[in-house]
Structure 1
Amino acid sequence: MIKIIMHGCNGHMGQMISGLVKEDPEAEIVAGIDICDNRQNDYPVFTDIRACHVEADAVIDFASPKAEEALLDYCVERKLPVVVCTTGLSEEQIQKVKDTSEKVAVLRSANMSLGVNTLLKLLKEAAKVFAPAGFDMEIVEKHHKYKVDAPSGTALAMAGSLNEALDNAYVYKYDRSQERKARDAKEIGISAVRGGNIVGEHDVIFAGTDEVVTFSHTAYSKAVFGKGAIQAAKFLAGKAPGLYDMSDVING
């Protein structure tokens, strides 16, 4: 049985994962870390990460970017593999994630869903066909009104898949409100919608002359992300230092 420390245990995703793990005979949450200890949990919760000395096999991180540096330092100190699910990280924090992966196993993914990670592969193949044929590429993502980062990490990952397939020759365009000119052929537009309780919707649009092809993914529950995070923790436990992603989990 894998023993997990839940970083951000009292947040929405932390509580969801806690519930999922209760039903999983192969996993157990042995401790939680959160600046707010305002819920009843079946495991001890530490408001100071440095005070947590519970033995574990991996950490799942669904917290605030503000807590990321302290978490990564903690994992290096304790030689704990970590599944980084927190989005909205700065370039400096992303670099620290990469540096940390040289010392412990780190799995970072903008989206833990099996469907999204399969779609990322398909988008690379589609971009190689449609972009040279003159199709414009646009991404529209929709999330609930409480999501603070925009565009979503998943939208950026989708844009990255498109760009990687095209030798990173394209630029990202987030806002056209101050421009009065035709669209650049080598740009990937990314638009964010925030409202209601939308869990997560992503459309990748290939718009050509006289035809449009759209790839869509809709998450109806955040449980899909929690299940993926648990599978990632099981995969990561015992792994050598390195930077992993969900494609490694999918491929076994």
Structure 2
Amino acid sequence: MRKIGLAGCNGRMGRVITQMAAARDDMKIVAGFELVPNKLADYPVYADVMEYQGEMDVLVDFSAASALDHHIAYCVERRIPILVAATGHSEEQLAALREASSKIPVFKTANLSLGVAVLDDLVRRATRLLGADFDIEVLERHHNQKLDAPSGTAMSLARSIQEELPFEAELVYDRHERRAKRPQKEIGMHAMRGGTIVGEHEVMYAGVNETISISHSAQSREVFAAGALHAVKFLADREPGMYDMRALVAAVQ
């Protein structure tokens, strides 16, 4: 049985993962971590990950970005794989994750949905076929409580597009003060916030007399929780290195 530590256990995603893990017999959450350690489940909750000295196979991090450095240090010291699914990290933190991956398995993703992993693959293919002749825009919609914009998933999709284009493309977040025609070598980024939208992502390819859109809509946070538990099983026995949803999807094919 896999033993999971869950950082951000009392947040939206933490509560869903707790519920789904409790229904399984191949994994168990052994400890939760929150700045205010209110106990909402049947496992102990600590304010500091360093307080937990029991066994752990994987640390799942859905906490605030500011906690990542502390979690990396803990996992490297104890040689525990870490799954980072939160967003909003700095370049320095991402560099620290890459450095840690030389010592432990690190799984970093902006979105744990298997459907979004397929979306990324389709977007890469479409960009290779259409990118030279079509304008590309990335649109995302989320609930009104989300802090970062554009979403981490939208940024990840944009990076995938940039990697497949035959030219360097600038990410453009605001055209409000621009008085110019749209150049081809840019990717428009659009973030919408409202209500309780779980998460919607769309990539639009606009050409001459035709438009193609590829999209994904999450109807429940359970899709992300299910992906997290898939990733826990995937990560537990891996060698040190950087892993993501593309590696997970490739492993299950």
Question: Does the alignment reach a TM-score above 0.5?
Answer: yes
Alignment partners' CA distance in 1, 2:127 and 2:190: 19
Displacement of 1:148: 0.2
Alignment partners' CA distance in 2, 1:168 and 1:153: 23
Percent identity over paired residues: 43
Q: Spell out the pairing of 1:49-68 with structure 2 (5 A cutoff).
A: 49-68=49-68
Change over 3 Å in CA distance of 1:242–1:221 after alignment to 2: same
Residue number in structure 2 paired with 1:103: 103
Q: Could you say what secondary structure the match of 1:137 adopts?
A: strand
Q: Could you say what secondary structure the match of 2:112 adopts?
A: coil
Residue number in structure 2 paired with 1:18: 18
Q: Could you say what secondary structure the match of 1:196 adopts?
A: coil
Code of the residue aligned with 1:113 in structure 2: it is: S
Displacement of 1:38: 2.2
Displacement of 1:39: 3.4
Residue number in structure 1 paired with 2:6: 6
Deviation string, structure 1 residues 134-159 (Cα, Å, up to 9, x no partner): 21000110000000000001001111
Where structure 1 has 5 or more consecutive residues not aligned to the other structure, the ranges are none
Q: Spell out the pairing of 1:107-146 with structure 2 (5 A cutoff).
A: 107-132=107-132, 134-146=133-145
Q: Spell out the pairing of 1:212-227 with structure 2 (5 A cutoff).
A: 212-227=211-226
The 4+ residue runs of structure 1 with deviation greater than 4 A are none
Residue number in structure 2 paired with 1:196: 195
Q: Does 1:85 align with 2:85?
A: yes
Q: Spell out the pairing of 1:167-186 with structure 2 (5 A cutoff).
A: 169-186=168-185
RMSD over aligned CA atoms reads 1.0
Is the contact made by 1:57 and 1:238 (CA closer than 8 Å) also made in structure 2? no
Q: Could you say what secondary structure the match of 1:30 adopts?
A: strand
Where structure 2 has 5 or more consecutive residues not aligned to the other structure, the ranges are none
Aligned residues: 251
